[in-house]
Amino acid sequence: MKFDTPATTNPIDRMKVVGQPVDRIDGKRKTTGTARYAYERNDAAPSAVYGYIVGAAIAKGRIERIDFAEAKAAPGVLAVVTHENAGTVAKAQAHTARMLAGPDVQHFDQAVAIVVASTFEQARAAAKLVRVTYARSAGKFDLAAERSAAVKPKDGKPDTAIGDFAGAFAKAPVKLDQTYTTPDQSHAMMEPHATTAAWTGSKLTLWTSNQMLNWAVRDMSKTLGIPKEDIHVLSPFVGGGFGSKLWIRSDAVMAALASRAIGGKPVKVALTRPQIMNNTTHRPATIQRLRIGARKDGTITAIAHESWSGDLPGGGPETAPNVTRLLYAGANRMTATRLATLDLPEGNAMRAPGEAVGLLALEAAMDELAETLKMDPVQLRIVNDTQVDPESPKRAFSHRDLVGCLRTGAERFGWNKRNPVPGQVREGRWLIGMGMASAFRDNVTMKSGARVGIDKKGVVTVATDMTDIGTGSYTIIGQTAAEMMGVPLDKVIVLLGDSSFPVSSGSGGQWGGNSSTAGVYAACSALRDSVARKLGFDPTDIVFEDGKVKSGNRSVSLAEAAGDAGLSAEDSIEFGDLTKTYAQSTFGAHFVEVAVDSATGEVRVRRMSGAFAAGRILNPKSARSQVIGAMTMGVGAALMEDAVVDKRFGYFVNHDMAEYHVPVHADVPYQDVFFMDETDAKSSPMKAKGVGELGICGVGAAVANAVYNACGVRIREYPLTLDKVIKGMPPVA
């Protein structure tokens, strides 16, 4: 099905199942422990043995010698695989660094070997007996030191220039020119990167924790040099990814190599927390300069956003300025992105790449501009709203209700009670402040397919290689099929996470929910047509409801229509040029109240509220869960998350959950989430848009702005740890 004209009235609009806050259909399996994850596939891969990865002890250099004789002789050890005996291991295009080092080492903790043994403990103990001799080379590990050497990226992230920014900024009566920094961050997902691999002859099966199965097949084919049709990937349940599992990592590659080395027997590999931090990907640090020129009424006349980030040779930048290209009006504007070469582990996608860190800077700058103008921060954003792409005014937004979000959010939060003068509201030793920020995330769609069938009992089964990374994919896909085929949700079976199923959009970039359900919509539409043809019904005058197919005064049950042989159909949604014709984005407004300890500088978030416009919300219950999780991640980015680089040796020092701090239950306050009532017919037949990443966008800046309102300390270097807060506060009498 081609989606190249705006959606009209369709069966989804009935909203009998879609749009309802139903419980997750996979919830019982999750809560009873019967949902099997990649490391737990004893049912499909019995008698598996264990692999333990040995990581590089240097960040850059060469392996001169690997001696694993002692490890190979250790109790229970079955094999030791290195670059010397692994055979050809290529680098997939999607990977910046190779999944197996040797002889060159590209980053700290890059896999240099895997030890395979009968038990995990035996594999781990023997891994310590692998002796690697390195020739260390000098590396670059400091973004600030490499800033002047950064260059334009080669991967199509252009600088932009509209109008005359320099001239307009020089003439602006009110100016802001500030630099903000964000640190390296880790995904810290609940389930580690894990894989169980097994070979049957020349065919490889991977039970792995992965967000994008079709990409996994593609990249494993390239890495191992085997045909795609010889690779079967299964990821029915994924315990969080946030972008780190968009591509296969060393757990999958090394497990496959290990299994092949022992004759195909299943091998389990799970990365430890320190390995996740240094062996996989992270959100790269940024340096961002914001310049805004405005009239005294708050109207922006000039805006510029420049960003510097780093990655390994061949990698890409953090695209922080992208948000500034679309969020606010202003005739004169420019953005620039620069990439430095750093020899740190690979920088790559983390929840809402670009916007998440870009808004930490832009929305703090907007707050500072409002302070300079002595203008309400909400009103400043309303004044600078635009209904067209600021860089291309002939390109209107498909649907944009940022102003509605700002006004609704402010009213629900009680923003009118805010004292605009910092440091004036106190409860005992606590200074109380309120802050806000806009939320923005571009809407992306991806081709997505599915197969839908009806059996002789009238049960509808959906199969697609879509993954559920904790977002509720099973449920919204089931809701879509139920709505389209006119059956209750308990009459739908959803099968996900198997590369033998039709290729879906996969989970990532906030495109998964909207795109995958649109693919199911397409398959259901094809199945509805098949039913109509079989029954001799007019397909333009047919209704599916209550488990029956109705046309005029005729009514046939789905079970009868399917017959003993059943019926099935397969189709994909293919998106046309509507994203070029219209700017498609999602919007929101965050409001936060914090308390700052006047003696210690400790910051506590007391309550959060947000209003969001993201098209039709397919399941308000699971969508809310996505947003409150994203808001919580935003609190972490604002107050604690910082992957600290040892600039001597090039690795992340605080590489476990004890020292890389993320919010815990005690840090999560009351969270109010409100979804604006909207549909976007130009986005998909579902009239939905993505929402999973929108919740993190802007919330960190809202926290920082609230801290400033509470105590008058403006911090432009994230995270806002208490040492930075207390440094700017007056001494306690």
Q: Using an 8 Å Cβ cutoff, are 234 and 206 in contact? A: yes
Give Cα 619 to chain centroid, integer Å: 19
Cα–Cα distances in Å, from 541 out to 2, 230, 458?
22, 45, 21
CB 702 within 8 A of CB 639: no
Distance CA 532, CA 521 (A): 16
Task: Give the H or E element holding residue 525.
Answer: helix 512-535
Are the C-beta atoms of residues 59 and 141 closer than 8 Å to each other?
yes
Amino acid of residue 433: G
Q: Which two tokens stand for residue 432?
A: 């109380």
**Between the CA of residue 150 and those of 108, 312, 322, what are the distances in Å?**
22, 12, 18
Sole residue written with tokens 């959010």: 409
Q: How many helices (H) and strands (E) does the chain have?
A: 18, 32
- The candidate with the shortest Cα–Cα distance to 187, out of 276, 309, 96, is 276
104: Cα separation from own chain's centroid: 31
| Mean pLDDT value of segment 374-395 | 98
Provide the 3-class DSSP secondary structure of residue 519: helix
What letter does residue 181 receive in the DSSP assignment? E
Arithmetic mean of pLDDT, 154-165: 89
The pair of structure tokens assigned to 216 is 């996994």
Residues 158-176: what's their mean pLDDT?
97
In DSSP notation, 389-418 reads ETTEEEEEBSS--HHHHHHHHHHHHTGGG-
pLDDT average, residue stretch 9-15: 98
Q: How far apart are CA 573 and CA 97, in angstroms?
A: 33
**Active-site amino acid positions:** 693
- Distance in angstroms (rounded) separating the CA atoms of residues 54 and 82: 10
The two three-digit tokens of residue 543, written as one number = 């209704």
For residue 731, what is the DSSP state?
P
The average pLDDT across 125-135 equals 98
Q: How confident is the model at residue 656 (pLDDT cuts 50, 70, 90)?
A: very high
Task: Name the H helices within 53-119.
Answer: 69-72
Q: What is the pLDDT of residues 204-263, one digit of tens each?
A: 999 999 999 999 999 999 999 999 999 999 999 999 999 999 999 999 999 999 999 999
Residue 730: pLDDT band (50, 70, 90) is confident
- Residue 563 CB neighbours (<10 A): 12
Whether the bond between 719 and the residue before it is cis, its omega within 30 degrees of 0, is: yes
Nearest to 501, CA basis, from 527, 479, 520? 520
The closest of 326, 425, 435, 330 to 376, measured between CA atoms, is 435
Domains of the chain, earliest start first: 2-35+445-578 (3.30.365.10), 44-353 (3.90.1170.50), 392-442+584-727 (3.30.365.10)
For residue 592, CA distances in Å to 63, 69, 447, 718 come to: 51, 58, 37, 17
At 181-195, the pLDDT tens digits run 999 999 999 999 999
Interval 44-63: pLDDT, tens: 999 999 999 999 999 999 99
CA distances from 148 to 287, 340, 361 (A): 12, 8, 20
Q: How many CB atoms lie within 10 A of CB 716?
A: 18
Helix then strand then coil, % of the chain, to nearest 5: 30, 30, 45
> What are 323-371's pLDDT values in tens digits?
999 999 999 999 999 999 999 999 999 999 999 999 999 999 999 999 9
Mean pLDDT of the chain: 97
Residue 158: pLDDT band (50, 70, 90) is confident
Cis peptide bond prior to 103, omega within 30° of 0: yes
For the segment 602-621, what is each residue's pLDDT rounded down to a tens digit? 999 999 999 999 999 999 99
